[in-house]
Structure formats: structure tokens, C-alpha cells
Amino acid sequence: MNIRMEHDTMGEIAVPADRCWGAQTQRSLENFKISGERQPQEIITAFAYLKEACAIANARKGKLTEQQAHAIAAACREIRAGKWDGEFPLVVWQTGSGTQTNMNVNEVIAHLAASQGVPLHPNDHVNASQSSNDTYPSALHIAAALSVANQVLPAAERLAAAFARLEAAYPDLIRIGRTHLQDATPLRFSQEVSGWRELTAAPCRMLRAALEELCRLAIGGTAVGTGLNAPADYDGAVCKELRTLTGLDFQPDKNKFHALTSKDALVFAHGAMKALAANLMKIANDIRWQASGPRCGMGELHIPENEPGSSIMPGKVNPTQCEAVTMAAVQVMGNDAAIGFAASQGNFQLNVFLPVSAYNFQQSARLLADAMESFRTHCVEGITPDVERMEENLQNSLMLVTCLTPKIGYEKAAECAKKALHEGTTLKEAVVSMGLLTEKEFEETVRPEKMV
């Protein structure tokens, strides 16, 4: 392997000649051979937004020349376009401040600028007016906000819209309700689907509220929150550029001592994603229970048959999309615990659990967005009710007796239901045989369409 020698404050180190990173990235590669999970690509993209905004702000504050700022910005645009993905090899399990990833980005940018004839120092120029202690928390928030705004929310909104279409398609279909996994009173199928729609839509409102907090950035706090080595109003200038670059309303966190050490906004935002995951678990379970069968289950819904379900049972088809959603939900719930623990570890002026927080948050965002897209296109949009099965179960339900309570009282109604159950008769037969109502009175009273 061809090498070149790079140096940092600890001396020289050999770096592969065909790579754009420098000494500090190489040291991290050699010192942290821990598992294989790399820094999320979303974090690298966020750094590329941040470094470009910082460069422009530095030029306007007189800390970089226009040429230097343009060279940094050009490199950042190439990084965001994915041209240099292989130059960011560092694992999650490194320094808890993310310093080595910040320097990885600085070194690559400096190398790319030098290749275009603009010599830059990764610390003095690319990292001007910055510290890893304010850049990684800022990149963490930028990445989280972009993922929520551009991935999770659009996927959730499309899924909610799919449920709205299913809701509108069957406005008059009545089915039996179920509580405690037992028969309950009737409801319209559209009413049940409206619940699924709102289970998807409600966490979106929570995520939008969380976006405001995620858009508060630590940038400008530098090492401990005092803003040492950063020009006046630098934080505002950086955020102004970020708003232009991303379209999101990034603002400086007014208290940098809070911003550097607290990850409460990330906990809040991920909590909303956990709420979405919990609701998706409920929806997927409802659908797979109601689609169970085809002959010996509930069988009230038909879902798309996408692939064979068994390697031994011919003809078996399983609710695989529902299963994928529920597994994704479980992972998001686990990630939420990790993020909560990590956020509790802010010691003095810095939280040093940043990369693991980024890794878990971004995995949750990707999982939710992808799972909702797959669930919508391969399951929800193909759901149809088994109208005959729903009608049969509706008419066979003993809980229709509930509407008789005003006429015959709770205890007599319960006696009728138990009699029908134990004797294997219909509810009408039980009520009439007990002399509580005539057949005509029963039919006039027990009208499912009036019970919904």
C-alpha cells in the first residue's frame, strides 16, 4: 500500500496515499477498532452544511479570505453530494465528544481545497471560530432536524393519507368492536380506520413541536460555552447561512452552557418518534390480527399477499409487512432508552455521549421512514375488508345486547347474553324466550346502524 506521511501535534503518522484524511483521522482508525458501526452519513452531511455556513460567516467576520471560504464551501457541496463518502471511515465508538469526526471532516475539506490550489489548515482555517464541543452538538441537531423534516414526517403524512383513503372508501360498513380481545359494541369500519389515521398523524404534531427545539444550535459556544476565539454574533451569522442552505429555521441557542451539555431536545424529539413507533406497533398488530386466517382466524381483513410465508407449509402467506413494522418499532423503543441514558451523562460543560446519541437517533429516523413507506405501499394501500365476515360476526355478537339495557336493565341484559352463550342460541332467541321483548320489538331495538 502506498503511503504518505501526515503530522499533527503528536508527530508524524503514515496515511494511505489515496485517502483525503489526515493524521487525526488515521489515529482514530488505529485506536478505535471497535465493532463496525460508522458515523451516520446524516452526521457527515450535517457537518458539510455546518462547515460551509461557518466558512461563509468567518469570511464575513474577516477570519477567512473569500478564496478560503469558497474552497471550503465547494468541498462541502461535494461531500453532501456523496462524492467522498469513503473518506469518512470512523466508527461510532470513539471519543464521546465526536472530536475525531469533526477533525475527519476538517482534514478531508482541507485536502480537497489543497487539491484545488487553496492551502488550508484543518484547525486554523476549516475549524476557525469552532470547537468539536460546539460543532458536533450542532451537527447532531442539524442531522436530526433534517431527518425528521425530510424523512420521517413526509413518510408519516403519506401513511396517514393512505388511511384516510381507506376510511373514505367504506363509510357505511359496520363491524363489531372488540375491547380486552372480547366482543364489544359495534362501530363503523371507517371509524376504526380513522383511529389508525390519527395514530399516525398525532405524533407528527409532536415531531413538529420538537423541530423548534432541534433547530436551536450550540455553534458559537466553542470549548465550554463562553465563545472563546469566535467573533461577536458569529452564531447568528452561521445560523443565517444554515437557514439559506437547508430551508430549516436554525437559530442560536441563547444559553450555550445548556447547549453544550444538554441533549434534552434530542430526547424530546426521539420521544415523539417513540410515540410514533408505539402507535405503528398498535396499528400493525390490529391489522395482522384482523387479517388472521384465512379460515381459522378473524379473517375480517384481506391484506396483500406479497411472498410465500412458509418453507414447509405450501400456500401459507404471512402478514410480513406488519411484522417488519413491529420489529422496527421495537428497535426504536430500544434506541430511545439508549438516548435517554446518554442524555443523562452531561458532566460539567460537555456531554460525552454524542456519537452514540447520533447513531441511535438516525437509525430510528431511517427505520421509521422506511418502515412506513414499505408498510403503506405493500400493505395498507391494498387492504380490503371481508364484508360478509364482518356482517356475520356483527350479527352473531352477544354485545348487541348493550342497546337493550335502557329497556330491560343491565342485569336482565346480562342474563340474556349468558343464556344465549351457554345454550348456543342467538341473542334474539334468548330475549324472546325469556319474555322480555317480542321478536318485533327486538328487531326494532337492536339496530347496529343506530349504535354507531
- Residues carrying an active site annotation: 180, 310
Assess whether the previous peptide bond of 294 is cis (omega < 30° from 0). yes
CA–CA separation, 151 vs 119, rounded Å? 37
DSSP reduced 3-state for 32: coil
Q: Is the dihedral of CA 329, 331, 337, 340 positive or negative?
A: negative
Helices (H), 152-252: 153-169, 189-214, 234-246
Radius of gyration for the chain, computed over Cα atoms and rounded to the nearest angstrom? 30
Backbone phi, psi, residue 184, to 5°: -135, -165
**Strand 216-217 versus strand 251-252 pairing type:** parallel
Helices (H), 215-263: 234-246, 256-261
CB atoms within 10 A of CB 267: 20
Residue type at position 275: A
Residue 201: all three cell numbers together: 398523524
* E strand or H helix that includes residue 94: none
CA distance readout (Å), 71 to 61, 83, 318, 446: 17, 16, 54, 77
List residues bridging with 179 in a β-sheet: 182
CA–CA separation, 381 vs 396, rounded Å? 29
DSSP reduced 3-state for 188: strand
CB atoms within 10 A of CB 393: 17
**Strand 174-179 versus strand 182-188 pairing type:** antiparallel
Residue 266: all three cell numbers together: 434530542
